[in-house]
Amino acid sequence: MAAPAAETPAPAAEAPTEDAPAVASYEDFMAGPDAAMFTVNNLWILISAALVFIMHLGFASVESGMCQQKNTVNILFKNLFIVCIGALGYMAWGFNAMYPGDWTISNVFAFGSPLTNTFYDDSAEVVANLTGAYADNGNCYTYWSDFIFQAMFAATAATIVSGAVAERVKLTSFMIYATILVTLLYPITGSWEWGGGWLNQFDGGSEETGQFIDFAGSSLVHAFGGFSALGAVLVLGPRLGKYTKDGTKPILPHNLPLANIGVFMLILGWFGFNGGSVLSADPQGVSRVFVTTGMAAFAGGLGAILISWIVLKKPDLSMALNGTLAGLVGITAGAGAITPWGAVLVGLIAGGIVVVSVLLLDKLKIDDPVGAISVHGTCGIWGTLAVGIFGKEELAGEKISFMAQLIGTLSISAFAFVCSFALFFILKMIMGVRVDAQEEHEGLDVAEHGSPAYNDSQA
């Protein structure tokens, strides 16, 4: 994830190589002068992994809270499944495809392989590679920390789609889709930048173009998820009765306190999502990222409150909640490259953009029950471009440019959209992707799971 701020290929994920520095053993390293620093850096990556994990509760709660009561169990089931299969698929394949030792198609596609299992091989070479060398190289965390942090990231892409297709998608089809998305497709675009692929190498390519900056994934995670969602929704179509001759029918969220819990969990987790992407506990780096991340979220909330109040003539809680998320997605690309007041601006604008985007998609009859396409897709692009606008001119000796940002975010978004559309279309042909009208009307909870989310009865 997220090469530091400077865009060198994230070396942390490289498989153990033979030219590792000569560290006699883990014990020797831990008796040396760098042990404490290694320990605190590694601990922060692990705590960040736990924080990113809790974002999955955030997604599950926001999505179910924003949808109708009758589809709650289905949404929770999907989200739980995604984090399970996402982590496992990433372990079985994705991790080593995203940080490839060997490219299959040069700098564009790599074959993955299962996570190494040499847990207790205490030979000096392995130990040096898996632990000591990481610290020595300035990649201050272990191979295992790297994996678990990245695995928590990977599952988020499919979770974003989950919200957009909610309330009418066929469960089994979505399960297949999500598995392929996380295991195969997400690592491809991920490898382009964080795995050292073409987009990463494109960075310093030309004096005029500058490098591509996507600190923690405005494009690589969020726009990827948002445009995958758009592709899926176009194949799937809107919920029945949403767009009628008489106009668009509002479908109200069924549980706003639940959605509120979800959003706060997402903000909390984002401190790990962005903060952990510093890839160390470096005080200056992580402190800055906490400030930019937090302030963009809060400004995003204010921006959405303001714009939605003007447009909708009332203080809208759903929009305010989505505004904070929009601010977070917006700052994710530039959390390490934008000043605190710049972050406020990026967030404020993101909060406004998300309101407009939500209303616009409704005009276009693209039905996204939770606003996932707007929050992650639209604001993912905005956040990536914002680095070219608000970022400082140079980072780690390389130029930042609007053009590089534009090329990068469009490449990733287009790839996600096309692949997701194609995959969903194929699934539609083979097995269908939508429940029948009767089931949709009845609600997926009883129709697919045989259990409503809430019960108040019993002897």
- Residue numbers 278-317 binding its own copies by CB under 8 A: 281-284, 286-288, 290-291, 294-295, 298-299, 301-302, 305, 314-317
345 near its own copies, judged by CB under 8 A: no
Question: What does the DSSP 8-state code read for residue 377?
Answer: I
Distances in Å between the Cα of 160 and the Cα atoms of 153, 222, 357 are: 12, 8, 16
205 near its own copies, judged by CB under 8 A: no
Of 33 and 207, CB closest to its own copies? 33
Question: Which x/- pattern, by CB under 8 A, does the window 131-170 give for its own copies?
Answer: x---x-----xxxxx-xx--x-------------------
- As a three-state string, the secondary structure of 137-156 is CCCCCCHHHHHHHHHHHHHH
359 near its own copies, judged by CB under 8 A: no
Q: Distance between CA 310 and CA 168 in Å, rounded?
A: 32
Closest separation between CB of residue 108 and its own copies, Å? 29
Q: Single out the residue of 3, 91, 331, 387 in contact with its own copies (rule: CB under 8 A).
A: 91
Going by C-alpha positions, the residue among 91, 90, 92, 113 that lies closest to residue 101 is: 113
Q: Single out the residue of 54, 124, 356, 406 in contact with its own copies (rule: CB under 8 A).
A: 54
For its own copies, the binding residues in 101-120 under the rule CB under 8 A are: 114-115, 117, 119-120
Do residues 279 and 2 make contact, with C-beta atoms less than 8 angstroms apart?
Answer: yes
Of 1 and 151, CB closest to its own copies? 151
396 near its own copies, judged by CB under 8 A: no
Distances in Å between the Cα of 400 and the Cα atoms of 217, 290, 403 are: 16, 22, 9
Of 247 and 450, CB closest to its own copies? 450
38 near its own copies, judged by CB under 8 A: yes
Of 92 and 108, CB closest to its own copies? 92
Span near its own copies by CB under 8 A; candidates 67-75, 186-194, 207-215, 352-360 = 67-75
Do residues 49 and 121 make contact, with C-beta atoms less than 8 angstroms apart?
Answer: no
Q: Which residues contact 385 (CB under 8 A, 6 or more apart)?
A: 402, 405, 406, 409
Closest separation between CB of residue 448 and its own copies, Å? 7
171 burial via Cβ count (<10 Å: 0-12, 13-18, 19+): middle
Span near its own copies by CB under 8 A; candidates 130-138, 203-211, 399-407, 424-432 = 130-138
Closest separation between CB of residue 21 and its own copies, Å? 16
Q: What 3-state class would DSSP assign to 428?
A: helix
Closest separation between CB of residue 106 and its own copies, Å? 30
264 burial via Cβ count (<10 Å: 0-12, 13-18, 19+): middle
207 burial via Cβ count (<10 Å: 0-12, 13-18, 19+): exposed
Q: Distance between CA 339 and CA 373 in Å, rounded?
A: 27
228 near its own copies, judged by CB under 8 A: no
Q: Single out the residue of 139, 150, 189, 318 in contact with its own copies (rule: CB under 8 A).
A: 318
Q: Which residues contact 167 (CB under 8 A, 6 or more apart)?
A: 67, 68, 71, 239, 369, 440, 444
Q: Single out the residue of 9, 44, 202, 219 in contact with its own copies (rule: CB under 8 A).
A: 44
Going by C-alpha positions, the residue among 2, 404, 407 that lies closest to residue 211 is: 404
Closest separation between CB of residue 259 and its own copies, Å? 9
Q: Single out the residue of 2, 10, 20, 56 in contact with its own copies (rule: CB under 8 A).
A: 56
Q: Single out the residue of 15, 76, 234, 406 in contact with its own copies (rule: CB under 8 A).
A: 76
Please say whether the dihedral angle defined by the alpha carbons of residues 84, 87, 91 and 96, taken in this order, is positive or negative.
Answer: positive
Question: What does the DSSP 8-state code read for residue 162?
Answer: H
Of 85 and 230, CB closest to its own copies? 85
Outline where DSSP puts E strands in 100-248: 243-244, 247-248
For its own copies, the binding residues in 235-274 under the rule CB under 8 A are: 240-241, 251-258, 260-261, 263-265, 267-268, 271
99 near its own copies, judged by CB under 8 A: no
81 near its own copies, judged by CB under 8 A: yes
Other C-beta atoms lying within 10 Å of the C-beta of residue 362? 18
For its own copies, the binding residues in 414-433 under the rule CB under 8 A are: none
